[in-house]
Amino acid sequence: MKRYIVLLALCLISAFSFAQEWLKAAESDNDIYYVSSTIRQRGNNYIIFEKCVPKNISAERNNRVRETGESKWYKYSYMIVTELADLEVYRTKSLNYAYYDTEGKVLYAFDSMDDTSWFYAKPGTILEGICETAEYIVKRK
């Protein structure tokens, strides 16, 4: 019996050690931005996941329903953008966008149509906060 309890405890510890952690990176009047601790290196760049959570979710849901005419947006909760980041000069390219509902299921996803443009972070911007947070995560690994 003790063996099963120890095995269960080890499984739980491993599950938690691989859990995704979101670190707050920036905040605007309307949204809070997070960066996932799950960052992968690709050459000199990194694949990062940026989560955008609306502060006024009711207003955001109503806007999306009004704009699209689709009631599925009443369950909208947050968006995750997959970014290619160059942390040497603080610039990113958006690769993919995914909108999630309250249960964590994808409502709508699409790849970026413009995968050639780099966006450079300016001081004091949300993008600078995202790049700084990503750099912090990379350095602590």
Question: Which residues span the domain enclosing 47?
Answer: 2-140
CATH code at 79? Answer: 2.40.128.710
In this structure, what token pair is assigned to residue 41?
A: 């290196």
Domain count, the chain: 1
Sequence-separated (6 or more) residues with CB below 8 Å from residue 136: 23
pTM: predicted TM-score of the whole model, two decimal places:
0.82
Q: What is the pLDDT along the chain (141 residues), one digit of tens a residue?
A: 444 333 333 333 334 434 579 999 999 999 999 999 999 999 999 999 999 999 999 999 999 999 999 999 999 999 999 999 999 999 999 999 999 999 999 999 999 887 678 999 999 999 999 999 999 999 997
